[in-house]
Amino acid sequence: MRPLSTCMAIALGLGLLSCGNSTTEEKLVLTGSSTVAPLVSEIGKRFEEDRANVRVDVQTGGSSRGITDARDGIADLGMASRSLTSEESDLQTFTIAFDGIGIVLHQDNLISSLTKSQILEIYTGDIDNWQEVGGNNAEITVINKAEGRGTLEVFLDYLQIENSAIRADSIVGDNQQGIKTVAGNPNAIGYVSIGAAQESIDAGVPVRLAAIDGIEATLENVQAERYPLYRPLNLVSKDTPEGLTKTFIEFARSPEVRDIIEEQNFVPFSP
Amino acid sequence: MNNLSSPRSPSLETIVTILVWAIAIGVSLIFAWIVGDIAWRGIGELSWQFLINYPENAGREGRIAPILVSTALILAVCMVVAFPLGIGTALWLSELTASASKLGRLVGRSLDILAGVPSIVFGLFGNAFFAKTLGLGFSILSGGLTLACMVLPILIRSTEAGLRSVPLDYRLAAAALGYSRTTTLFQLLLPSSAPSLLAGFALGLGRAIGETAALIFTSGYVDRMPRSLFDSGRSLSVHIYDLATNVAGGDAKAYTSALVLLMLVVFLDLGAILILRKWLQGET
């Protein structure tokens, strides 16, 4: 039994090997941010559809890895879910989408806008009643994201605090869970991807997005980089992109992939 | 032997018995809970379609066919490489070296340390050595070879224990009958240690199939149908990890994929047991 299965495995392997080497194909390798990877993976699939000899291989490992790999030339393009630091200014970035994060309140909440410092004080527990920010006399239910969520990182980065500083009443996982929790509690405050929140609002879920410092959480404001709570999703290149790499970047920034980006709850780069 | 049930403390006896039972039941309950939870949440989406179609929308929709194929290929590479190496090393350790010898001890100790190394270390090693130094890139081959390094200690130790448990009398009898070493090995030692060999194989396979950290940087993330062993291919465990952590709304599919993985482990174990029974029947 055992030698037979071994032989079969080898035969299968050889069979696969032989059909893999026949065509002359162009391969594009991207590595980096695990937030951007699922999105670029989908963009890559559509890119391959019209180009028979092109393969787009997407690998993960985090933004920093993407930047290193792009610099070392191991990857054609890196993926980073943040802006580059000053030490990384030798690389070129191409924003393909934004991850905008909205503050979600219940529909019945009187508050329409919060300032950054109010959000900070609510999340660190210094403010625990809606009255203190001009709302009803009701205790605030603070909803935080679970450790490891991309939105949590952006949120903490925006407020410049550690997760341990947050006094949360409830921890949620994905966007949907966050929205459902706020919808079920008139005194709750949470934060989720704007795309997901907008989708739920359109579907009639009783929540709404609060403005930050008077700036509405709309896709337009994120696109124009007016809205403060967001991060760019970037492709990173060592040299000025040419050939297939250039075509791919242009494709990823074009309206052709708008629906894919929206499906992943991100804000498209192209207007 | 009668001091085992000392007449002085019958109550202690009862307490210990109850305690042991409680622990055993508790552990079984935890296992049942995990399996039950995965099955409960995953079974809704499970169907043939789920197994034979392609993933869409970053895995939120669509299925896992290419991922199953990649997983199978990675495991095949891993086992094809690890099995002969594992048995060879185990034979050397148990039959050709005195266990007290310096070299034997060194190899044994190294294996124990290797077995305790976190899988992400294997992943980074595989990425540096197989993917970059040997130029295999992100590929099923890199992933399979990395996994082979990881399961080798388990395979070797378990096979070695099996070989050592074969009584010395058997070997002496074989020598007295004029059997050559090779004949003794194939006719006697390997068949009598088959159960532990297979246990090691199943354990190794179990560790390999559930591995994520070692594979993310070696076999990679591409969820396309692999066309050769040099293609990158996403394993089931990497798929579950990605759905659960990076893809909002991927939880349902993550559970279904986890259920498939669990069933795969059970089938492989059952298969191993069946093969063992057949083999032993054939020998006697």
Which among B76, B245, B279 has the least Cβ separation from residue A1?
B279
Question: CA of A12: which chain B residue's CA is closest?
Answer: B73
DSSP H or E stretch at residue B86: helix B65-91
pLDDT of residue A32: 86
The reply to whether domains A24-98+232-268 and A99-223 share a CATH topology is yes
Could you write out the DSSP letters of every residue in B128-144?
IIIIIIS---SSHHHHH
DSSP reduced 3-state for B38: helix
Alpha helices (H) in chain A, listed in sequence order: 2-20, 37-49, 63-72, 116-124, 150-159, 175-183, 194-202, 219-223, 243-252, 258-263
Chain B residues lying within 8 Å of A199, measured CB to CB: none
Q: pTM above 0.90?
A: no
* Number of C-beta neighbours around residue B206 at 10 A: 15
Distance CA A175, CA A151 (A): 9
pLDDT of residue B25: 96
A58 touching chain B per CB within 8 A: yes
| Whole-number CA gyration radius for chain B | 23
Domain range annotation of chain A: 24-98+232-268, 99-223
pLDDT of residue A270: 67
> Tokens representing A61?
């490992």
CATH 1.10.3720.10 fits B48-283, yes or no: yes
DSSP reduced 3-state for B46: coil
Q: How far, in Å, are A72, A241, B94, B131, B227 from residue A75 at the CA level?
A: 8, 12, 46, 13, 21
Give pLDDT tens digits along chain B (284 positions). 445 555 566 788 899 999 999 999 999 999 999 999 999 988 887 887 787 777 777 767 767 888 999 999 999 999 999 999 999 999 888 888 877 788 888 888 899 999 889 999 999 999 899 988 888 888 999 999 999 999 999 999 989 888 988 888 988 999 899 998 888 888 888 888 888 888 888 888 888 998 888 998 899 888 888 888 888 899 999 998 888 777 766 777 888 899 999 999 888 888 888 887 887 776 55
| Whole-number CA gyration radius for chain A | 22
B123 touching chain A per CB within 8 A: no
Question: CA of A11: which chain B residue's CA is closest?
Answer: B76
Q: Which long-range contacts (CB under 8 A, 24 or more apart) does A14-17 make?
A: A16/B73, A16/B226, A16/B227, A16/B228, A16/B229, A17/B228, A17/B229, A17/B230
Q: Domain A24-98+232-268 is of which CATH architecture?
A: 3-Layer(aba) Sandwich (3.40)
Chain B residues lying within 8 Å of A176, measured CB to CB: 248-249
Which amino acid, one-letter code, is at A36?
V
Do the chains contact at A17 and B220, CB–CB below 8 Å?
no
Q: How far, in Å, are A237, A255, B156, B239 from residue A94 at the CA level?
A: 8, 15, 50, 27
pLDDT of residue A231: 84
Chain A residues lying within 8 Å of B242, measured CB to CB: 34, 37-38, 60
Question: CA of B218: which chain A residue's CA is closest?
Answer: A59
CATH 3.90.1150.10 fits A99-223, yes or no: no
Give the number of beta-carbon pairs within 8 Å between A and B.
92
Question: CA of B243: which chain A residue's CA is closest?
Answer: A38
B271 touching chain A per CB within 8 A: no
Could you write out the DSSP letters of every residue in A180-222?
HHHHT-TTEEEEEEHHHHHHHHHTT-SEEEEEETTB---HHHH
pLDDT of residue B1: 46
pLDDT of residue A20: 44
Domain range annotation of chain B: 11-42, 48-283
Interface of A with B in 179-238 (CB under 8 A): 193, 196
pLDDT of residue B283: 58
pLDDT of residue A19: 43
pLDDT of residue A118: 93
pLDDT of residue A4: 46
Q: What is the longest distance spanned by two Cα atoms in chain A? A: 76
Mean pLDDT, consecutive 10-residue stretches, chain A (271 aa), reads 47 46 73 86 89 88 84 89 82 89 90 91 91 89 79 85 88 80 92 82 88 88 86 89 90 89 81 60
> Tokens representing A3?
């030698």
Whether the Cβ atoms of residue B41 and residue B262 lie closer than 8 Å to each other: no
Question: CA of B55: which chain A residue's CA is closest?
Answer: A42
Which among A35, A37, A42 has the least Cβ separation from residue B57?
A42
Do the chains contact at B278 and A9, CB–CB below 8 Å?
no
Residue A68's closest CA among A82, A79, A81?
A: A79
CA dihedral (B55, B72, A60, A96) in degrees, to 10, reads -20
Query: Which of A6, A10, A16, A21 to substitute to test the interface with B, most B CBs within 10 Å?
Result: A16
Length of chain A: 271
Q: How far, in Å, are A34, A54, A134 from residue A184 at the CA level?
A: 31, 48, 21
- Residue at token pair 């099923």: B140
Whether the Cβ atoms of residue A234 and residue A95 lie closer than 8 Å to each other: yes
